[in-house]
Chains A and B, each alone.
Chain A
C-alpha cells in the first residue's frame, strides 16, 4: 500500500482535555508526530508569558497543534467527506498542514521574534523544506508533498478551501486556541458551541461557509474571541513580563556586542546576536533553555542584566500606566531625561507597548481591505456576508480597539533613595 494511504494497525488516541480524544489512523500523521521537530513543540508554551498571570496556562504548542489537527480531521471526515465540493485527494495535505502550522514557533515566540527580527512562519517553511525529520517523513508521501504542505500554511496553495480550513476568520486554529486557552487559564470566556459550528460548516470552491442556521453559534465564537483578546491575550501584567523578557535579550545582545565578559557564556544565543544562525541552532532553542540562562544571568555582574533576569524569574514585574501617545508623546521625552538623571537607563526601564485587535472585518467592494469575510449560506444557496445578517457582529465589525501602556519599575521609584524618583512618579501618574 502506498505510504500516503497506509493506516495504523490500530487507531492511536491522545487524551485531550478540550476534545476528549484526538484520533490518529494515518501512518503519515503518526510518523510526523514522532519527529524531533514536532516533539520540540512540547517545550514551547502556547501563551508565552501568560502563565505568570494565569498560572494554569502552561499548555504547549504541541497540544494546540494536535487540537487543530483533530478539528480539521473532524471537519473533513465527519462533515465534508462525500460532498461534491470537497476533493478527497486534499485530505492528507490538509491534515498535515493543520498539524504543522505552528512548527516554526520559537521560545516565547512573539518576544523572541521581535528582538531578533525573525518570523516563525519563515522557520515553519524551513523546517518543512529543509533537512529535517519532518521533511523526511513528508517526502515519503511524494517528493513534492513537503512543498504542498508548506504552500497550504503559507496561504499560496491553489485550493483556497484547504487554506481556509487552517487560516481564515473562522478556522480550526482559532477554534482550538480559544477553547484551549480558556480551559487552561480558567477564565469563563472563550467558550462557544464548536460542535454546532462543525455541523454547519459547508465546503465551497473558494472557502468554508456556514449554513444560515448556524449564525448564532458563529456570533458566540466571534464574541468569545473578542473577550479572550482583552481578558487574556492582552493582559497588561503578562505584557509586562514580555516587555522584561525582550529587554533581557536586548541587554544580553548589547553586552555581547560591546565585549562584556559573561560569567555564563551565552552559547545558545551567539549566532542570533551575530545574525548568523542556522536552522539547527533555531530548533535547539526552547523555553527551558531561555529560562536556564535567565537563572544563571541573575548572578552576572552587569546590574541591568541581573536585575531584569531577577524580575522575570521571581515575577517582580514592571508596573504600568495608561498612555495616550497622541497627547502624551512629549511626556516620553521628559521621562527619558528624568530617568537618565536618576541613573535609570530608560532603554531598559521605561517602555511603551501597544495592543490592538480587530475582532471581525469584512471586504467592502472597492476598498482595500484584506480580510476574507465569513459567509452564511442561505437556503437557496446564496452567500451573505455575516455582518449583513447579524446585528451582534455588525456592531463590532471593522472596529479596532487599541490600548497603549507605559511600563516602569515602580518598586525602584518608590524606594525613597532619590528625590528624582518622586518627580518621575508624578509625571507618570499625572
Chain B
C-alpha cells in the first residue's frame, strides 16, 4: 500500500535532488525502460514520454509533505526542484529495498541535461524500431529541437551504458 508513492520518494532520495519536472519525468521513464519497477503509465507528449500519473503522484507527495518542491526562476526558464523532507525520510521506511543497481543508474541520469534526457527517452519510446527508424521518428516528432548526429550517437552510447549498468 502506497508502495508506488514510496518508490518515488526513494528515487528522489537516491538522487539527492531532482532539478525540473521534465527531468524527473524522463529519468523515471528511462529507469522503467531499464526494467526498474516503476508503475506510472507514459504517453508521448510535447517533450517526449510523459506520465500524468507521475505528475499526480509527485503532487500528492508534496501535499503529503514527503517531498519539498522549490520553484527556481532561471531567467530564460523556470523549474521546480524536488528534495525529500524529514517526514519523507521516515516514510521511506515503508519502501521495499531497491535493486542494487538503482543508485548508480540514477546518478548517471541525474548528471545529464533535460534536453539530453528528452532525446534518450524519446529514442527509447521507439525502441521497437531499427536504429535508423528510431532516429527518423525522433527527427519527426522533435523537429524543432534539431538534435545533431553527434547528440544521437551520444544518446545511443548512453543507452548502452545504462543497459550495462542496470544489468550488472
0/1 string, B97-114, CB within 8 A of A gives 1 = 000000000000000000
Alpha-carbon gap, A354 to B2, bound state (A): 10
Q: Which of B10-18, B74-82, B146-154, B156-164 contacts A (4 or more CB under 8 A)?
A: B74-82
Known interface pairs A352-B1, A368-B80; A156-B65 also in contact (CB < 8 Å): no
A351 proximity list for chain B (CB < 8 A): 1
Q: Which of A45-53, A248-256, A326-334, A378-386 contacts B (4 or more CB under 8 A)?
A: A326-334
A9 at interface by CB-CB < 8 Å: no
7 closest Cβ pairs, A-B complex:
A326-B64, A370-B45, A368-B21, A368-B22, A370-B50, A356-B56, A366-B77
B63 at interface by CB-CB < 8 Å: yes
Known interface pairs A368-B79, A372-B46, A400-B59; A117-B137 also in contact (CB < 8 Å): no
Per the 8 Å Cβ criterion, residues 44-79 of B in contact with A are 44-47, 50, 52, 56, 59-60, 63-65, 76-79
Residue ID in chain B nearest A355 by CB atoms: B56
B36 at interface by CB-CB < 8 Å: no
Contact B64 A156 (CB under 8 A): no
B141 at interface by CB-CB < 8 Å: yes
Known interface pairs A352-B2, A368-B79; A329-B64 also in contact (CB < 8 Å): yes
- B90 to chain A: closest CB distance in Å? 9
B2 proximity list for chain A (CB < 8 A): 325, 329, 332, 352
Alpha-carbon gap, A332 to B91, bound state (A): 12
28 A-B pairs in the complex with CB atoms less than 8 angstroms apart:
A119-B41, A155-B43, A155-B44, A155-B45, A325-B64, A326-B63, A329-B2, A329-B91, A329-B94, A332-B1, A333-B94, A346-B1, A350-B1, A352-B1, A354-B60, A356-B56, A358-B52, A366-B77, A366-B78, A367-B78, A368-B20, A368-B21, A368-B22, A368-B47, A370-B47, A370-B50, A400-B59, A402-B59
B50 proximity list for chain A (CB < 8 A): 370
Most buried by B among A333, A352, A367: A367
Residue ID in chain A nearest B80 by CB atoms: A368
Per the 8 Å Cβ criterion, residues 115-142 of B in contact with A are 126, 137, 140-141
Interface range on chain B (Cβ under 8 Å from partner): 20 to 34
Residue ID in chain A nearest B41 by CB atoms: A119
Alpha-carbon gap, A316 to B140, bound state (A): 51
0/1 string, A120-153, CB within 8 A of B gives 1 = 0100000000000000000000000000000000
B5 at interface by CB-CB < 8 Å: yes
B39 at interface by CB-CB < 8 Å: yes
Q: Interface SS of chain B: helix, strand, loop or mixed?
A: mixed
B43 proximity list for chain A (CB < 8 A): 121, 155
Most buried by B among A114, A325, A358, A370: A370
A368 proximity list for chain B (CB < 8 A): 20-22, 47, 79-80
Alpha-carbon gap, A18 to B49, bound state (A): 34
Per the 8 Å Cβ criterion, residues 1-40 of B in contact with A are 1-2, 5, 20-22, 39
Residue ID in chain B nearest A352 by CB atoms: B1
Most buried by B among A117, A329, A332: A329
Sample of 14 more A-B contacts, CB < 8 Å, known A155-B45, A156-B141? A114-B39, A119-B41, A156-B126, A156-B140, A333-B94, A350-B1, A356-B56, A356-B60, A363-B46, A368-B47, A370-B50, A371-B46, A400-B56, A402-B63
